[in-house]
Structure formats: C-alpha cells, structure tokens
Structure 1
Amino acid sequence: MARRWERDMGDEGAPGATVEALPFAGASVAPACGSCPERSASRRRGSRVQVPRTAIVTIAVIAAVVAVVACWKYLPGAYAWLTNPDAVRAFVAEHAVLSRLVLVGINVVQVLLAFLPGEPVELASGYAFGLIEGTALCLAAAAVASSLIYWGVRRWGRRLVGKFFDRSMLDRYEWLRNTRKLELIMLVVFLIPGTPKDFLTYFAGLTRLRFPVVLAIATFGRLPSIVTSTVAAAAFGAGDYGAAVIAVVAAGVLIVAGGFAYRAVERHARA
C-alpha cells in the first residue's frame, strides 16, 4: 500500500493522490484550524481588549475628583470675572479679533452639535459685545453652521441626521416635507420661539428647499430667539436689572405662545 501511495503522489508530491490511495484512507479529513470560519471568528472575538469594569470606575472617579478640584479652585475667580462687565469688556478690547473668532467658533460648534443648548452662547454674546454686535455675531455663526449642515445633509442624507436626532424627531416634523408653500411654513416655524432651530436646520436639508432659501430661513429665522437672549444679557451687563428681568419674562411668554402658534400652524398645514 505504501508503494501505491508513493506511485500516485509522483516525484513532486503532486496532488494526484486519491483518498483511497492514502495510508489513512477512510478517515475523515478535517480542514486546517486556521481556515475554519468558526475558529477564526472566535479568535477575533477573543483578541478584543476587554477593559475591566474597575478600571472604568477608577477613571470616572479620578475625572470627577479633578473636575471638583478645578471648580473649587478656579470657578470662584471665573465667576467673579464674568460678573464684572468692565473686566469682560476690557478683555474683549484687548483681544478684539480673537475674542470674536472664539465666540463665533463656539457658536458654530453649538449649532452643529445640536444637542448642546444655544442660549448660553447667545447670552454670552450679548453680555460681552452688547445687543447689536452680539446679535450680529450669533447670526454670522448661524449662517456658517447652517451652510455646513445643509451641504452635509445633501451629501449623507438621513445617515447624518440620525447621528444627532432620534427617528421620532423626524417623524414629528415629517409633515413639513409634504406641505404646500414649504418656504413660508418653514420660515414661520423658525420664527416661533421654542421650536428646535438646530434640528430644523438639519431637517431642511432633507426637503426640496434650495440652499439660498435654507440659508436665509435658518439664519434670520433665529432672530427673535437671539434678540431676546442678547437683550437680557446686555441689560444685565449694563446694570439695568429691571430690563433684564423684563426680557427674560418676555422670552418665557414668547416660548409658551410659540408652542400654541406651532400647533396652529401644524393643524393648518395638515388640513
């Protein structure tokens, strides 16, 4: 049998040998372990680095302690500096270009990361730069961010929107896509205080609206919301606390009224 096996294999050990001619004929031939899909998948799963839970907890505790120490050490001084309008404006005057670029950059990031609230940035704009310039800087940031969002959504569609918003948000405003006079309805919804402006900016990229229209709506449609914040902050920075309180109360009333106005617009558009 050994001679027959050698004869079938030939001089080069060619693959001419048959299973019957092998000395272990009748035995099952298992594939190499390295080529077994199950074994390869198991090996890949086993090669993943497993971070111990204790390490995660330790890192979280250390981060919390660092944050508490930093707040305890620096927050009082930062608060004292922020509540001094003269000091803030002196810093702005000393770093005229940089301070404005930083504020616009922060505002752009806030609009892009729509889950971040925009009111603190608007308040900071009004406090540091006053009503007119603070409003203008917020509008400039809104224009830059809206442009980036529009073309990003045009390129990646719902995949990009889904990174920041739940499907329920898309379903809630889906009626806008099918309404007549979409430009007018979208502008009215933007002008209503309390509506999610950042989400609507992403949503507008999914509609048939052209870029110039979206840019105008997403920029100037924020004007009522921005003005109420910058008015309150500018009045507070000037020491006119009565005007600041009136502006805050007015903003609250507008938000409540905006909720009713939005429902009325939605009912009318669906009809």
Structure 2
Amino acid sequence: MTDEVSAVARVAGAACAVAIVAALAAACWRYLPGIYAWLTDPAAVHALVAEHAVLSRLALVGINALQVVLAFLPGEPVELASGYAFGLVEGTVLCLIASVIASSAIYLAVRRWGWRLVGRFFDRAQLERYAWIRDTRRLELVMLAVFLIPGTPKDFLTYFAGLTKMRFGAVLAITTFGRLPSVVTSTVAASALGTGDYTLAIASVLVAGALLLAGGILYRRLERRAKK
C-alpha cells in the first residue's frame, strides 16, 4: 500500500512539474517577444522610469539589496539594469545605496546570530577557504584587496566579515567601495548600450573580462602567499 501511495505521489509530482514547465513555456512564447521588444527600446524604458520616478528607483534599490542578501544570486544583471535604466552616474549611486543597506543588515544580523545565520546560506567549506583572511594581521587591508578583485564572491565576503573582528564602519566602507570596479564596468556597458554607443559597450565588456582574468590570477597568488 505504501509503495502504491509513493508511486502515485511520484507520478503526481512529475505531472505537476510538466504542467509548470508547459505553463512557463507558454508564457514565454506569449509574452517574451513583447518584453524583449520593450527592453531593447531605450526610449520606452526611460519613459517608464520618468513616469514612475520614485517607485522605479525604490524598486531597483530594493531588488539590488535583496540580491546582496541572497548571496547565491548574481549581481551583474541588476547592475546592468541599473545602468541601462538610469545611466552611469545614477545607476552606480543606486547600486552603492543598495549595498550600504544590505551590507548593514547582513553585518548586524551576523553579529547577532553568527554561524546560525551564515550556515543557512553557505557551508563550512566556503568559510574555511577564506579562513586565512580572518587570521591575517591587517584584516581590513586584505579584505579590501580581495573585495576589489573582480570575480571574488563579494556577497559571501559580506557575511564572512561579520564573523571577524572587523568594525562596522570598516566593513561598510569595504563592502561599498570595494564593489566600484564591478559596478562601474557593468553600468558603463549598459548605459552605453542604452545610448547606442556600441563601441563603448563592447570596450567595457572587454575591460571587465580582462579585469576578471587578471583579478583571478592576482587572487590565487594572494591566497597562496597568505597560506604560506
């Protein structure tokens, strides 16, 4: 009897999964062309932003802050959207405001609940990988260097900082200004795409790729030297 119930449950689960996938496929078929056409029209995007000036900015900051808190989500799409909709300067500022809000909340929460909170998002292996940072003498300086390197998991490091002896002000400064290289390259590329400057957009992507490659090499050297 139990096996029959289990089999029925599996069939029902599979049927639900198929139904959900079919519904999503139908929705994409129906709405994605229109959404894509709207997104590729900078004038339409900017008109919507102008019409909902306050709400659009609050929504962007809220989504970006949520992305930092949910560290497993990539931040680049939000940064690109910010630059595309609001331009280089304002898009960068909005991303930094979101970082301040999210980083403050994360630091204070980790200080309060410690590993009980961090363990809900990350496993011990990730923590042990960066244990050498916590043990270094110049903790703030090393954390800033790691944060400035493109490609490092900055949102994880925001949680990690709360487990160290770093002060709130230092953490906030590092997690905010340490994001500038990543944020600026994304907002420059998206802003240039929105204004039709495809040369600058491609150049920004190439620069971001070069920084990512160089940063990865630099970080591995820094990690090896610190462990020695």
TM range (shorter): over 0.9
* Distance in 2 separating the partners of 1:220 and 1:64: 41
Does the 8 Å contact 1:231/1:244 carry over to 2?
Answer: yes
1:10 corresponds to:
none
Determine the structure 1 residue equivalent to 2:226: 269
Q: Across the two proteins, how many residue pairs are aligned to each other?
A: 224
Q: Distance in 2 between matches of 1:270 and 1:68?
A: 49
Structure 2: which amino acid aligns with 1:200? L
Kept after mapping to 2: 8 A contact 1:179/1:270: no
Q: CA deviation at 1:265?
A: 2.3
Which of 160, 167, 185 is the equivalent residue of 2:117? 160
The structure number with the bigger radius of gyration is: 1
Deviations along 1:134-169, one digit per CA (max 9) or x if unpaired, are 000000001100011101111111121111112211
Q: Who is 1:55 aligned against?
A: 12
Higher helix share: 2
Tell me the TM-score normalised to structure 2 length.
Answer: 0.95
Residue among 45, 68, 79 paired with 1:88: 45
The structural deviation recorded for 1:268 is 3.6
Residue number among 24, 27, 37 corresponding to 1:67 in the alignment: 24
Alpha-carbon RMSD: 1.5
Higher relative contact order (CA 8 A, sep 6+): 2
SS at match of 2:119: helix
The residue type equivalent to 2:222 in the other structure is V
2:211 equivalent to 1:211: no
How far apart, in 2, do the equivalents of 1:55 and 1:156 lie?
39
- Local SS of the residue matching 1:52: helix
Counterpart of 2:130 in structure 1 is 173
TM-score by length of 1: 0.80
Say if 2:79 is the partner of 1:122.
yes
Letter in 1 for 2:30: K
Gaps spanning 5+ residues in structure 2: where?
none
Query: CA–CA distance in 2 between the matches of 1:270 and 1:56?
Result: 48
Following TM superposition, by how much is the alpha carbon of 1:264 offset from its aligned partner in structure 2, in angstroms? 2.5
Q: Does 1:142 align with 2:94?
A: no
